[in-house]
A and B are shown apart, each in its own frame.
Chain A
Amino acid sequence: MQLLVNGETVTAKEGDTVAAILEQLGYRGETFAVACNGDFVPRGSYDETRPNSGDSLDIVAPVVGG
């Protein structure tokens, strides 16, 4: 299936969890957070959340800000 991850098209296996997708993309540690189709996905839900084809994932990390 195809997903939009941070605005770019990414191919993942049908039924993959958020945890699997993050692993595939190389995200490790705890300095990022995830939203799926604009809704927050808590870290504790990564193993049970399964995006559908066409879904949009936002993966964010700390940056400087005013």
Chain B
Amino acid sequence: MEKLKLYGKEFDSRLLVGTALYPSPAIMRESVAASGAEIITLSLRRQSPEQQQGKMIWDYIRESGCQLLPNTAGCKTPKEVIALAEMSREIFTTDWLKLEVIGDDYNLQPDPFGLVEAARELVKRGFKVLPYCTDDLVVCRKLLDVGCEVLMPWGSPIGTGRGLMNKYNLQTLRERLPDTPLIIDAGIGAPSQATEAMEMGFDAVLLNTAVAKAQNPVLMAEAFRLAVESGRAARNAGLMLKRQTASPSTPTLDMPFWQQTASSGEEV
């Protein structure tokens, strides 16, 4: 399968996964491995010197070999985003950034205006910005205009598991931005939804909750790996066109028991 190309780097896997919400750090590590993901998301939060989570995550990061994609989850203004982005770059030593500017606490919908403003400044500062955005074509174009090379439109709100909520908009994005890497980020709840996204031509899928909150996260990670691979293969193979009426797949020629009446030509 052809590689996923993002900001000049190539990846075999088209599944990106988050590291949050797992029952334990061990299950998180095992799930990430089972998913085959080569890009993982993580974040920064206030921490006292006594807390050890930072060190634990740091140790895992060094072992994982994955491309790190720090997020700006929870930020509501470009100022907050810029500060957190700079702190992330210093700690994780990567320019890559999953840009989040939240505009509404209820459905965690991205703020399109803050998103474009923050992306413009981050690109100026040398960040490789992967914005978590809505499926609005105009907003996506503005993000490309300010220098984003990858877009991550939502399937549906974070953590809802509702899948691809607005397929018309998503299909429009795919058709109108054919050369932009598009990653469906958020809202994917089942492997079948990930397959559908890939069949529609999206380049990759980013998810977290669907794996972490499964009864068996490691097995679900494996299921998503297969689903994404399957969807990509199907896209490359070319799906058949839908039809309104039935069409038999078994040949009708030489069907036994079929007769033509001599007088009327009708079947009997």
Given contacts A31-B55, A40-B86, A43-B90, contact A66 B73 (CB under 8 A): yes
Contact of B49 among A26, A42, A43 (CB under 8 A): A26
Chain B residues, CB < 8 A from A48: none
Interface residues as binary, A37-66 with B (CB distance below 8 Å gives 1, 0 otherwise): 011101100000000000000111111111
How many chain A residues touch the partner (CB < 8 A)? 27
User: Is B244 engaged at the interface, CB distance under 8 Å to the other chain?
Assistant: no
Given contacts A35-B87, A40-B86, contact A64 B46 (CB under 8 A): no
Interface Cβ pair total, 8 Å cutoff: 107
Chain B residues, CB < 8 A from A32: 47, 54, 91
For window 8-32 of A, CB contacts with B under 8 Å fall at 25-32
A residues at B contact (CB < 8 Å):
6-7, 25-35, 38-40, 42-43, 58-66
Contact of B44 among A27, A39, A43, A62 (CB under 8 A): A62
User: Is B58 engaged at the interface, CB distance under 8 Å to the other chain?
Assistant: yes
A6-B47, A59-B47, A61-B54 provided; 11 other pairs, C-beta below 8 A? A6-B48, A38-B79, A38-B83, A43-B90, A62-B43, A62-B44, A64-B18, A64-B19, A64-B43, A66-B73, A66-B209
In the complex, residue of chain B having the shortest beta-carbon distance to the beta carbon of A29:
B55
Chain B residues, CB < 8 A from A27: 49
Complexed CA–CA distance, A42 and B90 (Å): 8
| Interface contact B83-A40, CB-CB below 8 Å | yes
Given contacts A34-B87, A40-B87, contact A63 B18 (CB under 8 A): no
In the assembled complex, the CB of A7 is this many whole angstroms from the nearest CB of chain B, namely 7
Chain B residues, CB < 8 A from A33: 44, 86-88, 90-91
Contact of A65 among B20, B79, B83, B87 (CB under 8 A): B20
Complexed CA–CA distance, A46 and B243 (Å): 67
Chosen A-B contacts, 29 in total, with CB atoms closer than 8 Å, are A6-B46, A28-B49, A32-B47, A33-B86, A33-B87, A33-B88, A35-B83, A39-B83, A42-B86, A58-B46, A58-B83, A59-B47, A60-B84, A60-B91, A61-B51, A61-B58, A62-B57, A63-B43, A64-B18, A64-B22, A64-B53, A64-B57, A65-B19, A65-B41, A65-B42, A65-B71, A66-B19, A66-B71, A66-B209
